[in-house]
Amino acid sequence: MSNKGTDNAKEDTPIFRLQRVYMKDISFENPNSPEVFSLSGKQPKVEMSLSLAQRQVNEEHWEVSLKIGAITRDQDSDKLLFEIEAEQAGVFFMQHIPEEHMPMLLEVECPTIIFPYTRQIISQLSVDGGYMPFTLEPVNFRALYENKLRKAEAEPEPTLQ
């Protein structure tokens, strides 16, 4: 009895796995120290930014990068406390993944895997800079992706004249 059908099924099985996580860029600025250490001590005002990028490295590997920035200011004086920017990336091996599943993997699953690494580094940078741990709230990448899709559907199609 031949198990050729079984062999073909194994050959076409989708494979998705993390190969490596690495830091692409990192910056911590503490321009007003040590004076800012004696300011109000209240919870700082925070401006956050988050962006994703992905690129195909070769036929089976994708790089996905997550860039997070945070600018913190004193509540009372508005003086800059610190600024952090970190770009963490991962290389993912993807084989036999149906094309319709790629956006979800690249914009939801991959950043969800990378985020805890970035969160830890940002927290440690703030501590090393003389502050309390700056802990990022969890990010729901699925909700961000679904909002992006809804926004794209709501935009009218451009018409040719």
Instruction: Name the DSSP letter for residue 59.
Output: S
Instruction: Name the DSSP letter for residue 38.
Output: G
Give the model's confidence band at 144: pLDDT under 50 very low, under 70 low, under 90 confident, else very high.
very high
CA angle 154, 140, 156 (to 5 degrees): 10
Give the model's confidence band at 123: pLDDT under 50 very low, under 70 low, under 90 confident, else very high.
very high
Helix (H) or strand (E) holding 49: strand 45-56
**Amino acid 100: pLDDT:** 94
Residue 27 has pLDDT above 90, yes or no: yes
Q: Are 17 and 93 in contact (CB under 8 A)?
A: yes
**Amino acid 11: pLDDT:** 76
Supply the pTM of this predicted model: 0.83
**Amino acid 1: pLDDT:** 45
Residue 125 has pLDDT above 50, yes or no: yes
- 122 phi, psi to nearest 5 deg: -65, -40
What mean pLDDT do residues 123-132 have? Answer: 94
**Amino acid 6: pLDDT:** 47
Q: What percent of the chain has pLDDT over 70?
A: 89
Q: Express each pLDDT in 76-110 by its tens digit.
A: 889 999 999 999 999 999 999 999 999 999 999 99
- Structural domains of the chain, with CATH: 24-153 (3.10.420.10)
